[in-house]
């Protein structure tokens, strides 16, 4: 039963105007204010006004949103085709408050068939899908292969990984870019190198701009950090020692003033331990500076100033000199890392691009950039736009706040002729966009929420100049959330810094159309990480109980609370409905440890849950268990792998049983001990392992794993440990096994090797309720709703520095550059005209992400 709504007259009027096909509309819509409803109503009214289905272009942000829009429109059109005349008149009249005549009624009944007959149907698509379709129509003009295909995320990740490994291996072997690769490995660990490279490559939009003028980018960085004199870190270190203000004589006098103790960390003790005539650089710096490279507080101490003020002043001057040089050395190392990273990343990018060209492949960024570049071409672009202009007369853009500048370039180019020349008056044209700057949380994909307002103003000016109706409209009333939740959001958003982060000029106020009282926000105190340090640092002589980590404690408390609600038949909402697992949506900021601990706790508490919304297939522990099984069957002498395998869901061997098998076994392998053991679990394991090993010679990968999972009840065993999410993982795993069998030389060992070199994940659609408690990231859950929403990590805050990640800096002229941020803290404040793209809006987006979460919660 749907709730009765109290819809303000202004809201109803704004919704009708927003759906008016004769007006171009720019809608700023709060969370839950009926954006999809208005979009649907506008498409229906456009069709009823005579607009051809193929002339309407509706761009949505995700495939799921596009599918939902198509479903809604198609369902209503199908319903119109079979409704009774009275019911149809009532529904059509409610659309625009206009009388219904025979012509309108007849058109409404035929729209469903008309939409089905239209080639391609209604164009309700993502912007990437639209760009792909246009590029396929005009491949020569866009300079793309006529038979190009789009790379999926997993394939792209694999290609990037192969390019990275090839470039690094070639560099380490003395090939091209050997110097840059060697410098990276001298300055950073393997893990840091991998993370830095992949983070840079992950944002191809910014990286391409940097690589387009690499030499200038390097010069820009040197100018930013003040190293235009060409000094490198080695030269600075030589200056640190050669230009010392304190010599052996000074050191002797200092030790005379304050005789050192045998041990200690005071200045005089550090001096006493170094070679006064030829000190090592590390010892010299430790004597005068802190570990952070700064001058210690109250340095040198009062005793030196009292005994010899001139010498004390000289010591202070030496410390200041070293601190200044330490900053310069950090800058030089920063430049060296960045230059090496830029060269290596550029080589990887070049190799990846060559691989794409060889395979006639485009990625999602290519689709946008190629079409935007085509439209920017004055000759070819104008012709293509003319061809498109003849077919598209109405553009609708959903979630406009997350449309990035390159995507706006495409949209603006399509609509360029809507308000100019004869086309502005010959036929009805309209532009419609709906969004909310407060909800923009996709800056990592290039979204710029300020563009929503500025683009709207630009379209408004064009419409006014062409004397076409245009109106910006607000939709402020929530149809989803109860008053209590909205009031809590408004109280938080009233803080001036948060209001500024939400890009709001006025105090934020949410209204609701739901008259029901209720809606509650409950705050739990944070769970603290237990202190695992042992004061005496001694090995325990007795078994120690381990404390649960903070994520595990929180996850188990969340699962316990949900189970309590369900077991006690707790009611929620104004209609007193009993809480079920389907009512609960748990949100986290990232798929981190807490994310997996929550899923684990839900399964342990026997609460139904579909599991994770994104699963790493090749890295999933269930798949690793199957690969370990193959390792053991191919090499029974691998005791370590077999020991780990016996503790997997495939077998019933306990910790005690495994200890009995592995301990004091002499020269025997665990495989041999299994066959001779009297333990029931061991005999069962030995029997199945022997049977599976006998099948290796004639079973293909797919048949072998299918037999393990289905014929031998392996899937049932994994279900008990991992829940239903394992179904999707193993389905993809078996598909990969089947694909491997189509290769030139399929084999079980070859498949295992291939799986260990690939990184494959699957996305799962958890939008529909009915599978239990959903656990999702804020980004993945955008637009979804649930009666109960739990924000599991609401106290985490954004890191003040992105240590280890690339930071991109943009300069008005002559170009952009890339720096590596492992020591960027020394250079974030400067007078040059640079700004950090990745850091500027980090805190603002954090608050937008935090406060837009009420979009998911009803009450």
Binding residues for ATP: 29-36
In sequence order, what DSSP letters do the residues of 119-166 get, joined into one string? TT-SEEEEHHHHHHHHHHHSHHHHTS-TT-EEPPHHHHHHHHHHHHHH
Residue 470, φ and ψ in degrees, nearest 5 = -145, 140
Pairwise CA distance, residues 781 & 798, whole Å: 20
Residue 476, φ and ψ in degrees, nearest 5 = -105, -15
Task: Answer yes or no: are the C-beta atoms of 581 and 607 closer than 8 Å.
Answer: yes
Alpha helices in 6-118 (DSSP H): 9-18, 35-48, 63-82, 85-96, 102-117
Q: Pull the structure tokens for residue 573.
A: 């909402």
For 579, the 3-state DSSP assignment is: coil
Pairing of strands 788-791, 584-588: parallel
In sequence order, what DSSP letters do the residues of 249-260 get, joined into one string? HHHHHHHHHSPP
Pairwise CA distance, residues 65 & 60, whole Å: 6
Cα-based torsion angle of the residue sequence 583, 588, 594, 598 in order, rounded to the nearest 10 degrees: 10
Binding residues: 29-36
Pairing of strands 806-811, 817-820: antiparallel
- The secondary structure element, H or E, covering residue 774 is strand 774-777
Pairwise CA distance, residues 57 & 649, whole Å: 51
Helix 214-225 vs helix 204-211: crossing angle, to nearest 10: 90
Residue 252, φ and ψ in degrees, nearest 5 = -60, -40
Query: What are the residues whose beta carbons fall under 8 Å from the beta carbon of 644, sequence distance 6 or more?
Result: 628
- The secondary structure element, H or E, covering residue 604 is helix 593-604
Pairwise CA distance, residues 732 & 695, whole Å: 23
Query: What are the residues whose beta carbons fall under 8 Å from the beta carbon of 699, sequence distance 6 or more?
Result: 707, 748
Task: Answer yes or no: are the C-beta atoms of 156 and 149 closer than 8 Å.
Answer: no
By C-alpha distance, which of 34, 36, 42 is closest to 18? 42
- The secondary structure element, H or E, covering residue 790 is strand 788-791
By C-alpha distance, which of 515, 431, 414 is closest to 466? 431
Residue 303, φ and ψ in degrees, nearest 5 = -60, -35
Query: What are the residues whose beta carbons fall under 8 Å from the beta carbon of 424, sequence distance 6 or more?
Result: 418, 466, 467, 468
Sequence-ordered strand ranges (E) for 659-718: none
Q: Write the CA distances from 673 to 480, 626, 655, 686, integer angstroms.
A: 63, 22, 15, 9
In sequence order, what DSSP letters do the residues of 626-646 get, joined into one string? HHHHHHHHH-TT-HHHHHHHH
Q: Write the CA distances from 245 to 239, 297, 417, integer angstroms.
A: 11, 20, 72
Q: Pull the structure tokens for residue 98.
A: 């206009």
Task: Answer yes or no: are the C-beta atoms of 812 and 608 closer than 8 Å.
Answer: no
Residue 335, φ and ψ in degrees, nearest 5 = -65, -45
Q: Write the CA distances from 497 to 370, 503, 800, integer angstroms.
A: 39, 10, 16
């Amino acid at each position: 039963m749907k709730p009765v709504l109290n819809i303000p007259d202004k809201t109803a009027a704004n919704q009708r105007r927003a759906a008016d096909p004769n007006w171009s509309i720019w809608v700023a819509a709060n969370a839950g204010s009926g954006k999809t409803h208005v979009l649907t109503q506008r498409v229906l009214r456009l069709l009823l006004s005579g607009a051809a289905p193929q002339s309407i272009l509706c761009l949505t942000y995700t495939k799921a949103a596009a599918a939902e829009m198509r479903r809604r429109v198609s369902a209503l059109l199908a319903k119109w085709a079979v409704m009774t005349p009275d019911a149809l008149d009532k529904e059509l009249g409610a659309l625009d408050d206009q009388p219904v005549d025979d012509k309108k009624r007849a058109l409404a009944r035929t729209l469903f068939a008309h939409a089905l007959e239209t080639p391609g149907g209604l164009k309700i698509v993502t912007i990437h899908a639209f760009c792909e379709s246009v590029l396929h129509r005009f491949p020569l003009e866009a300079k793309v292969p006529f038979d190009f295909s789009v790379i999926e995320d997993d394939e792209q990740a694999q290609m990037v990984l192969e390019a990275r490994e090839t470039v690094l291996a070639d560099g380490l072997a003395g090939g091209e870019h050997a110097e840059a690769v060697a410098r990276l490995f001298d300055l950073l660990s393997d893990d840091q190198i991998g993370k830095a490279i992949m983070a840079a490559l992950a944002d191809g939009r910014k990286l391409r701009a940097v690589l387009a003028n690499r030499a200038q980018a390097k010069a820009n960085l040197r100018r930013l950090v003040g190293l235009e004199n060409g000094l490198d870190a080695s030269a600075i270190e030589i200056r640190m020692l050669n230009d010392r203000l304190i010599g052996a004589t000074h050191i002797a006098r200092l030790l005379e003033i304050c005789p050192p103790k045998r041990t200690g960390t005071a200045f005089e003790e550090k001096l006493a331990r170094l070679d006064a005539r030829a000190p090592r650089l590390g010892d010299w710096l430790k004597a005068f500076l802190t570990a952070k490279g700064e001058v210690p507080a109250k340095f040198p101490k009062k005793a030196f100033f009292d005994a010899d003020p001139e010498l004390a002043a000289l010591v202070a001057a030496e410390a200041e000199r070293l601190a200044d040089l330490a900053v310069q050395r950090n800058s030089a190392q920063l430049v060296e890392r960045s230059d090496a990273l830029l060269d290596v990343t550029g080589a990887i990018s070049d190799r990846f691009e060559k691989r794409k060209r060889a395979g006639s492949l485009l990625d999602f960024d290519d689709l946008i950039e190629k079409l935007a570049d085509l439209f920017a071409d004055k000759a070819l672009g104008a012709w293509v736009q003319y061809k498109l202009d003849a077919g598209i007369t109405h553009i609708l853009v959903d979630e406009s706040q997350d449309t990035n500048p390159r995507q706006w370039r495409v949209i603006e180019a399509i609509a360029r002729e809507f308000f100019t020349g004869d086309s502005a008056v010959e036929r009805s044209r309209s532009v419609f966009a709906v969004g909310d700057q407060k909800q923009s949380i996709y800056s990592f994909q290039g979204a710029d929420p300020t563009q929503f307002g500025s683009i709207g103003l630009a379209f408004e000016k064009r419409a006014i100049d062409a004397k076409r109706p245009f109106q910006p409209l607000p939709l402020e009333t929530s149809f989803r959330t109860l008053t209590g939740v909205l009031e809590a959001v408004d109280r938080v958003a009233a803080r001036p810094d948060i209001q500024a982060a939400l890009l709001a000029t006025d105090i934020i106020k949410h209204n609701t159309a739901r008259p029901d009282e209720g809606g509650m926000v409950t705050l739990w105190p944070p769970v603290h990480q237990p202190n695992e340090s042992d004061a005496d640092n001694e090995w325990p002589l007795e078994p120690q109980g381990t404390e649960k980590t903070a994520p595990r404690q929180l996850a188990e408390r969340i699962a316990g609370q949900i189970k309590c609600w369900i077991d006690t038949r707790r009611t929620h909402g104004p209609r007193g409905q009993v809480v079920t697992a389907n009512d609960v949506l748990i949100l986290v900021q990232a798929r981190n440890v807490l994310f997996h601990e929550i899923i684990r706790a839900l399964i342990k508490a026997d609460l139904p849950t579909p599991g994770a919304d994104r699963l790493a297939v090749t890295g999933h522990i269930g798949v690793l268990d199957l690969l370990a099984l193959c390792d053991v069957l191919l090499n029974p002498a691998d005791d370590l792998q077999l020991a780990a395998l016996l503790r997997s869901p495939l077998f019933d061997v306990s910790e005690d049983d495994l200890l009995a098998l592995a301990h004091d076994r002499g020269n025997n392998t665990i495989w041999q001990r299994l066959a001779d053991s009297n333990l029931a679990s061991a005999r069962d394991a030995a029997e199945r392992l022997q049977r599976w090993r006998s099948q290796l010679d004639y079973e293909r990968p797919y048949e072998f794993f299918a037999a393990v999972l289905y014929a031998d009840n392996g899937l049932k065993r994994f279900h008990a440990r991992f829940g239903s999410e394992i179904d999707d993982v193993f389905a993809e795993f078996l598909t990969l096994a089947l694909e491997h069998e189509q290769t030139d030389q399929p084999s079980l060992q070859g498949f295992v090797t291939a799986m260990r070199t690939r990184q494959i994940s699957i996305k799962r659609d958890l939008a529909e309720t009915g599978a239990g408690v959903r656990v999702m990231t804020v980004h993945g859950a955008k637009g979804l709703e649930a009666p109960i929403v739990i924000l599991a990590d609401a106290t985490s805050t954004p890191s003040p520095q992105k240590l280890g990640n690339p930071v991109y800096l943009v300069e008005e002229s002559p170009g952009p550059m890339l720096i590596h941020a492992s020591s960027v803290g020394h250079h974030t404040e400067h007078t040059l005209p640079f700004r950090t793209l990745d850091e500027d809006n980090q805190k603002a987006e954090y608050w937008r992400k935090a406060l837009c979460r009420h979009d998911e919660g009803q009450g």
